[in-house]
Amino acid sequence: MKKNILLLFIALQLCSLQILAQFTKSQVDELTAKGVAAAIEPDNSGIINKAAELTLAYKEKEYIQSVCAIFDNLYRNWNYQRDPGGMEYFEKAGVSVYTYTGDCDDYATLMVSLIKSLGGEGRVICVSGHAYPEIYLGKDLSERELDKFKENIDSYYENKGSRTRAKYLNYHTDSNGSVWLNLDYQDRYPGGRFVEYSPDAEHLVIYPDGSYELAYLNK
């Protein structure tokens, strides 16, 4: 029985590779962007309710502390699970908000959906076979303004009685000065380390409206 299951899994993996081989890289990028954007659902009632529930205690505090509350909840409770059969599948955020289960792109689309439901802005980055979310912090931010974000992140964890602190903030700055904070689950806090630091790494940057671009964000 186990052997038959293994053979079926291998067959599905080969089928997936054969399907992808029929498309050019630009076509794969386009399909990925469409799938990711379609999975982001900030107006879904389940998303709105969950975001409100998680951030209720921080409505009168700095916005980044609401972000911390959402990040902390997903980081602690997310159940990583590969797509079935090795086939790429983008779960709707309105579904994963109830299951807290999926792979990296499902985590990213749920995070962006929750942030957008609060009025924030987010995007999904695909690089080196991994997907993760980023949130918009502002434009042309000074070092003092960035330090203030770090202080508020530290304050969130301190007030919860946690020893977690932001050692440093990892973010990308676009050519127009827009600053996007990393919300990947590589570390226990918003702004943790990137999965890929190479300046030669090509990033597929996907926005909730379905627009996308290729960029070298680490340069």
pLDDT at residue 188, as a whole number: 95
Which sequence spans correspond to the domains of the chain?
Answer: 31-215
Q: What is the pLDDT of residues 110-123, one digit of tens each?
A: 999 999 999 999 99
Q: What is the pLDDT of residues 187-213, one digit of tens each?
A: 999 999 999 889 999 999 999 999 999
Which CATH number describes the domain made up of 31-215?
Answer: 3.10.620
Q: How confident is the model at residue 60 (pLDDT cuts 50, 70, 90)?
A: confident
- Give the residue from 114, 106, 110 showing the smallest Cα distance to 67: 114
Phi–psi pair at 33, nearest 5 degrees = -60, -40
Q: What is the pLDDT of residues 148-197, one digit of tens each?
A: 999 999 999 999 999 999 999 999 999 999 999 999 999 999 999 999 88
How many residues make up the chain in this entry?
219
